[in-house]
Structure 1
Amino acid sequence: MAYPNTLIFVDLASDDPKAAGEFYAAVFGWENDARPEGVFHRMVPGQNFRLSDGSQSEVGNLHMGIFDAANARPNPNPEGVEPRQLADTGRKARIWIMVSEDDSVERIIGEAEKRGATVLWRNHYWKEFNGFNHCFRDPWGNEILLWVKGGENPQIPDDYTRE
């Protein structure tokens, strides 16, 4: 079998990349790398993926981009192309974020709500992948799922929904 194609980046659409960059920096503690500011923002989580012993590997954590829906770059046409607005109906991409052991779902959701996010659900356990999850919609309509590993013999609180 040939080496698989590699996912290298995910971009979220925004009508205000500067504000979206500030949102994600505050909510997740990521570096907001404007390149250039207001046009494209690269969100840099920092550090590297952890090995099973807890030490960091040589593989850096994945980055995420935020682009301006009015003129998505790159594009061969410097003026951009249609559509130039955010999608407002139907499903969009869902972004899954593993919550660090150094952080908490409560802090993340609190920061997100304070900055205009809408909580879609909290306190759900998905047995198939053994994880606790919570979800919010950012002010630009993107769904962000927070994931916490269940571990061996997970203790599922009574107030959690299950599937």
Structure 2
Amino acid sequence: MPNPNTLIFVDLMSDDPVAAGKFYAEVMGWEDDVRMDGQYCRMVPGGNFKNPDGSDSEIGNLHIGIGNVKNLRPNPDPAGVDPRALSTETRTSRLWVLVSEDDSVDRIMEAAEARGAKTLWRNHYWKEFNGFNDSFQDPWGNQIILWRKGGADPVIPEGYTSE
């Protein structure tokens, strides 16, 4: 195959897409584009992927959808299909977010917790991909991992876990 298949969209699940869209707009600063009379939200993280020199490339960042588990669209059946409940007690999708240099993990985690998110871990370094990370579970059961690049010679701060 000369050209790979291309990922164009990822959906998070919610039983209230409008509330979830507002959550991510307030926590991450993403544009919240409510669609289909509130049955779906398209989150627009904004900006473009960066070139190696730090300038904006021509490639826009991916969008994220928030689908309503009660009737996920599109589907040929107007009533949708089961299951129609959130998976809050089992593994769900994980969304990895590179934290902007003009934001902070502490601000994001505090904003998420204030809006009902649950902290899963703080202050961890993963050598395999050379990055510092923290994670929370949003009120709808989706896991978000906040990522910061470790750099050429990362120094692991005291009190961080690592693997």
The residue aligned with 1:64 is 64
Q: In 1, are the aligned partners of 2:105 and 2:146 still within 8 Å (CA)?
A: yes
How big is the shift at 1:92? 0.7
- Deviating above 4 A after TM superposition, structure 1's stretches of 4 or more consecutive aligned residues are none
The residue aligned with 1:145 is 145
How big is the shift at 1:81? 1.2
Q: In 2, are the aligned partners of 1:18 and 1:37 still within 8 Å (CA)?
A: no
1:48 maps to amino acid: N
Please give the secondary structure, in 2, of the residue aligned with 1:22. helix
Between the aligned partners of 1:143 and 1:3, the Cα distance in structure 2 is 31
State how 1:1-163 maps to structure 2 within 5 Å: 1-163=1-163
Please give the secondary structure, in 2, of the residue aligned with 1:140. coil
Say how many residue pairs are matched. Answer: 163
How big is the shift at 1:82? 1.1
1:67 maps to amino acid: G
| CA RMSD in angstroms, aligned pairs only | 0.9
Please give the secondary structure, in 1, of the residue aligned with 2:128. helix
Between the aligned partners of 1:77 and 1:43, the Cα distance in structure 2 is 25
The answer for unaligned runs of 5 or more in structure 2 is none
How big is the shift at 1:80? 1.0
Please give the secondary structure, in 2, of the residue aligned with 1:91. coil
The answer for unaligned runs of 5 or more in structure 1 is none
Between the aligned partners of 1:105 and 1:68, the Cα distance in structure 2 is 28
1:79 maps to amino acid: A
Range 21-30 or range 76-85, more displaced: 76-85
Q: Percent identity?
A: 64
